[in-house]
Amino acid sequence: MNIIVTGASKGIGKAIAEIFSAEGHTLLLCSRNQSQLQHTAEELASRYGNKVHYHAADLSKKEEVEVFGKWCLEIGTPDILINNAGRFLPGSIYNETEGILEDMIATNLYSAYHLTRKIVPAMIANKAGHVFNICSIASVKPYSNGGSYGISKFAMLGFSKNLREELMPLNIKVTSVLPGAVYTDSWSGSGIDPTRIMEDKDIATMVLAASKLSPQACVEEILIRPQLGDL
């Protein structure tokens, strides 16, 4: 299968790319950082022997989404699209830096919106496909210092839920993934005990499992939190 993973050079995206690589699938990877992305792609291809294509792009910019999407379609019909690109900027709505909301919406929502619109028509034509939208526990539970990030993740879940309803009769699955705290680069240096929060491979394992169900079954939502609860 052809698997598209955005935000794939590190963290949850890299873990998802790795678990699908281990299954022998063809990967189409994207992130903003060219050198990190190349390193990840070469590492996976060397380790698992599968085909790993990569294309650096800033998916907060519509024109770069268009280019990346076209590149994906030229490689082949996509079977799975994993909208994982995103980032977190802390702050409170009433005093965060001007422009943070626009940044968070462009990165965490518009990237998925525009790429999905580019890729899904090919899935519809093929009468099969699966879209995973990596949301967040912040999509359902606001928290202090979440600010515009929380707004963007609430919107991402709304986008995913609407997409599920629209694509249901067209035989395209849509799964919203809502992880709690996962130990990625954003937590390094925080002083948090890594055993207190989840591993990125936990999320990848659940995404892979949901992708393997029969055609008549769809996991609509994956809500996964640390065993001891949210921080």
Residue written as token pair 């800033």: 58
Active site residue 94: no
d(CA 231, CA 221): 21
d(CA 230, CA 156): 20
d(CA 161, CA 169): 14
d(CA 215, CA 187): 37
d(CA 206, CA 202): 7
Select which of 54, 113, 149, 183 is catalytic: 149
Q: Where are the alpha helices (DSSP H) in the chain?
A: 11-21, 34-48, 62-75, 100-105, 111-126, 147-167, 200-211
**Active-site residues: which are they?**
149
